[in-house]
Amino acid sequence: MSIIGKKISETRKSKGLTQEELAELSKVNLRTIQRIENNESEPRGKTLILICEVLDINIEDLINSKKIIEDNINSNLVYGFRLASKGKRFLANLVESFIYFITILIPYRIYKTPSLKELLNENSIDFVFAPVLGLIVGAIFYPMFIGNLGHRIFGLKVISSETGDDYKKAEEGAIRELLKGVLSFFLIPIIWILWDDKNQNLYDKLTKTYVVEKNDKGTITY
Strands (E), 113-195: 156-160
Going by pLDDT thresholds of 50, 70 and 90, the confidence category of residue 101 is: confident
Helix (H) or strand (E) holding 25: helix 19-26
pLDDT above 80 for 108 = no
**Inside any domain, residue 166:** yes
For residues 97 and 56, membership in a common domain is answered with no
Full domain range(s) for residue 106: 78-217
Is 143 part of a structural domain of the chain? yes
- Residue 122, pLDDT above cutoff 60: no
119 and 62 share one domain: no
Residue at a domain's end among 58, 75, 92: 75
Are 62 and 96 part of one and the same domain? no
* 67, 90: one domain: no
Average pLDDT (202-218) is 83
Based on the fold, state whether residues 9 and 88 are members of the same structural domain. Answer: no
Q: Is residue 219's pLDDT more than 70?
A: no
Are 65 and 93 in the same domain? no
Question: Taking Cα atoms as reference points, which of 87, 70, 81 lies closest to residue 221?
Answer: 70
How far apart are the C-alpha atoms of 220 and 168, rounded to whole Å?
27
**Do residues 51 and 28 lie in contact, with contact meaning Cβ atoms separated by under 8 Å?**
yes
Q: Are residues 206 and 106 in the same domain?
A: yes
How far, in Å, CA of 195 to CA of 68, rounded?
A: 21
Each residue's pLDDT tens digit, 36-82: 888 888 878 888 889 888 888 888 877 776 666 665 555 678 888 88
- Is the domain of 107 the same as that of 198? yes
Q: What digits encode the pLDDT tens for the residues 157-199?
A: 999 998 999 999 999 999 999 988 888 777 665 666 777 878 8
Q: Last residue of a domain, which of 20, 50, 75?
A: 75
> What's the structural domain count of the chain?
2
Sign of CA dihedral 197, 200, 202, 206: negative
Overall pTM surpassing 0.85 (yes/no) = no
Q: Are residues 135 and 83 in the same domain?
A: yes
In a domain, 173, yes or no: yes
Contacts with 211 (C-beta within 8 Å, 6 or more apart), sequence order: 83, 84, 89, 147, 151, 156, 157, 158, 199, 200, 204
Q: What is the CATH number of the domain that holds 53?
A: 1.10.260.40
3-state secondary structure of 58: coil
Residues above pLDDT 70, as percent of the chain: 76
Query: Is 222 a domain residue?
Result: no
- Laid out side by side, the sheet with 209-217 consists of 77-78, 81-83, 209-217, 156-160
Last residue of a domain, which of 18, 47, 75? 75
Q: Which of the pair, 188 or 91, is modelled with greater confidence?
A: 91
When mean pLDDT is compared across 23-27, 105-109, 143-147, the lowest value belongs to 105-109
Q: What is the mean pLDDT of the chain?
A: 80
**Are 35 and 91 in a shared domain?**
no
In a domain, 67, yes or no: yes
68 plus 82 within the same structural domain: no
